């Protein structure tokens, strides 16, 4: 599955209490905590003059809240896409992150009731391509595991954790370049 060669921005939602506790969120809709709301506000300032023309986000509350905070600063509407939701981790949701996660990224393990990493890629890459297709520059607000699938499509290692609330400029190339905004 190929990612279209177009510059865009990615922002992982702000922090939640489950992030701080090291718990697997997946599709469980955990809200932003106070730090996560502050991260969303800081991210909005970081992208203020980045030339973003649209915001597209996951339908999960933590991504929606982050996107709407940014939208207020940029004065742009938010479009939600259910295909940008986080991976479904089945019976691992609410449990501590563990060694199983590295096996999941390599398709060696799928939690009971969960989604394979390959299935996540099959869902996410077309959603990203839809988000970045129109003219202008998109900000995609989503989740950590989904960005691992995007990293893999960019020719980068998926075994890297994306920080909460730090916007990344995604620049096409072989491999792609990811530039955090200061």
Domain boundaries, the chain: 8-180
* Proportion of the chain above pLDDT 70, given as a percent: 100
Cα torsion at 120, 108, 164, 12 (round to 10°)? -10
85-130: pLDDT as tens digits? 999 999 999 999 999 999 999 999 999 999 999 999 999 999 999 9
Is the pLDDT reported for residue 136 higher than 90?
yes
Q: Residue 155's pLDDT is what?
A: 96
Tell me how far apart the alpha carbons of residues 118 and 67 are, in angstroms, rounded to a whole number.
Answer: 26
Confidence of residue 131 (pLDDT cuts 50, 70, 90): very high
Peptide bond into 114 cis (omega under 30): no
Q: How many CA atoms lie within 13 A of 24 on its CB side?
A: 21
Judge contact between 10 and 131, C-beta under 8 A. Answer: no
68 is catalytic: no
Whether the predicted pLDDT of 1 surpasses 90: no
Express each pLDDT in 10-38 by its tens digit. Answer: 999 999 999 999 999 999 999 999 999 99
The verdict on whether 80 is a catalytic residue reads no
The catalytic residue among 49, 68, 86, 93 is 86
Two tokens at 23? 């718990």
Give the CATH fold of the 8-180 domain: Rossmann fold (3.40.50)
């Amino acid at each position: 599955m190929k990612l279209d060669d177009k510059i865009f921005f990615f922002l992982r939602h702000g922090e939640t209490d489950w992030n701080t506790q090291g718990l697997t969120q997946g599709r469980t809709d955990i809200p932003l905590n106070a730090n996560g709301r502050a991260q969303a506000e800081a991210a909005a300032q970081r992208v203020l003059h980045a030339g973003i023309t649209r915001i597209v986000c996951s339908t999960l509350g933590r991504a929606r809240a982050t996107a709407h905070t940014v939208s207020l600063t940029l004065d742009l509407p938010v479009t939600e896409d259910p295909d940008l939701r986080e991976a479904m981790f089945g019976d691992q949701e609410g449990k501590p992150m563990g060694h199983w996660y590295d096996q999941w990224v390599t398709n060696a393990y799928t939690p009971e009731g969960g989604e394979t990493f390959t299935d996540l890629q099959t869902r996410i890459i077309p959603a990203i391509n839809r988000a970045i297709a129109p003219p202008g520059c998109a900000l995609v607000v989503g989740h950590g595991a989904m960005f691992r699938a995007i990293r893999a499509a960019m020719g980068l290692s998926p075994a890297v954790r994306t920080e909460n609330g730090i916007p990344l400029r995604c620049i096409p190339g072989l491999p792609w370049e990811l530039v955090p905004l200061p």
